[in-house]
Amino acid sequence: MKTDIEPTSTSAGSPPQVSARSTGRAGDKIFLGLSRGSGIALLVIMAAIAGFLAYRASIAISKDEANFLTAFEWSTGSTPMRFGIAVLAYGTVVSSIIAMVIAVPIAVGIALFISHYAPRRLATPVAYVIDLLAAVPSIVYGLWGALFLVPHLTPLYTWMDKYLGWTGVLSYQGGAARSLFTVGILLAIMILPIVTSVSREVFRQVPKMHEEAALALGATRWEVVRMSVLPFGRSGIISASMLGLGRALGETMAVATVLSPSYLINVSLLDPGGGTFAQNIASHFKEANDNGRDALIASGLVLFVITLLVNGAARMIIARRKEYSGTAA
């Protein structure tokens, strides 16, 4: 602010105005100081936490007798420690991909239904219920998954094995359906509400003039959705998906409740086994000794890096076609 210019325009101003302005300036200074101070403090605290975690993780990795990135084992209770994140990285990524593939199309469909198809009398309660589902604690989903979903998936998996078992990826040997695929389905159900809610908000904000442009050309309702709503909502759908993916990648209790873990990568997604970063931490943290905890911290940092990469990729996708974004007009 170039405040030194202002006095010329209000040179006839009476003293009270001047004092009012100077308090305003003091207020500005205080606010600036506060916001700058808290910003710096926040950065310092975060850097300290990151430094601490990285330090503990490096201790653990230096004591790791196996390859931290590729080993298929996790034994940290005794020395020498042998642990690797390969199984966890695979399980985390695969279960999240399954969740996204299932959840995003359904969520976009429900969001479109609420915003563009359903009569208002139906849209409002449906939207309300979806928002409510987003607030259910994840342990509830986990219990529901273990008690209801797991037994009810057995027939589905048997059926999938019959027709798709030849792929290997979808073969099923029977037994409890406590597999990565089950985790994926459960995660899909868990992230469905949030992805739906955010997408719905984006679809509702499509400017009327874009929709009318399509309508006036003789577009049907679905064509309006395709020509105006989806292109406008594209970056919003990506953001909503990333929000959901972030939850899926980090989900702890529900996965730990449902999955029957192992440190093997199973070719079949339907058979039990595998693990995820968050589930592994939850399962081991309580009984782990100091070294074990450091190892878990190291794995947590890898999850953090994966999450960062995913978010960065999403940002790049959104930015790539910026000149075509709906805000340009």
Partner 1 sequence: MAKRIDISGLTAYYGSHKAIEDISMTVEPRSVTAFIGPSGCGKSTFLRTLNRMHEVTPGGRVEGKVMLDDENLYASGVDPVSVRRTVGMVFQRPNPFPTMSIFENVAAGLKLNGSYKKSELSDVVEKSLKGANLWNEVKDRLNKPGAGLSGGQQQRLCIARAIAVAPDVLLMDEPCSALDPISTLAIEDLIGELKERFTIVIVTHNMQQAARVSDRTAFFNLAGVGQPGKLIEIDETERIFSNPSVQATEDYISGRFG
d(CA 278, CA 185): 17
Longest dimension (CA), the chain: 90
The structure tokens 């930015």 sit at 319
178 by DSSP, 3-state: which? coil
Q: Could you say which of 260, 307, 311, 325 contacts partner 1 (CB under 8 A)?
A: 325
The structure tokens 């890898």 sit at 302
What's the angle, vertex CA 85, arms to CA 101 and CA 43, rounded to 5?
A: 85
Specify the DSSP element, H or E, that contains 169.
Answer: none
Asked if 227 interacts with partner 1 (CB under 8 A), we say yes
Indicate the DSSP class of residue 82: E
Tell the smallest beta-carbon distance from residue 205 to partner 1 (Å): 13
How many of the other CB atoms lie within 10 Å of CB of 176? Answer: 14
Q: Which two tokens stand for residue 30?
A: 């205080």
Asked if 318 interacts with partner 1 (CB under 8 A), we say no
* DSSP β-ladder status, 74-75 and 82-83: antiparallel
* Touching partner 1, residues 100-159 (CB under 8 A): 120
Q: Which two tokens stand for residue 148?
A: 């209801």
Asked if 199 interacts with partner 1 (CB under 8 A), we say no
Nearer to partner 1, 1 or 328 (CB): 328
Q: Which two tokens stand for residue 81?
A: 């420690």
Q: Could you say which of 29, 152, 162, 321 contacts partner 1 (CB under 8 A)?
A: 321
* Touching partner 1, residues 17-36 (CB under 8 A): none
Write the single-letter amino acid at 88: L
User: What mask of x and - would describe binding to partner 1 in positions 65 to 104, judged by CB under 8 A?
Assistant: ----------------------------------------
* Touching partner 1, residues 232-261 (CB under 8 A): 232, 234
Asked if 217 interacts with partner 1 (CB under 8 A), we say yes
Tell the smallest beta-carbon distance from residue 320 to partner 1 (Å): 13
* Contact between 208 and 123 (Cβ < 8 Å): no
d(CA 52, CA 71): 25
Q: Could you say which of 214, 269, 281, 297 contacts partner 1 (CB under 8 A)?
A: 214
Asked if 4 interacts with partner 1 (CB under 8 A), we say no
Tell the smallest beta-carbon distance from residue 312 to partner 1 (Å): 23
The residue range among 165-173, 185-193, 219-227, 257-265 that interacts with partner 1, by the rule CB under 8 A, is 219-227
Asked if 1 interacts with partner 1 (CB under 8 A), we say no
d(CA 202, CA 193): 14
The structure tokens 């998954």 sit at 145
Q: Could you say which of 63, 204, 210, 293 contacts partner 1 (CB under 8 A)?
A: 210
Residues binding partner 1 (CB under 8 A): 120, 209-210, 212-220, 223, 227-228, 231-232, 234, 321, 323-329
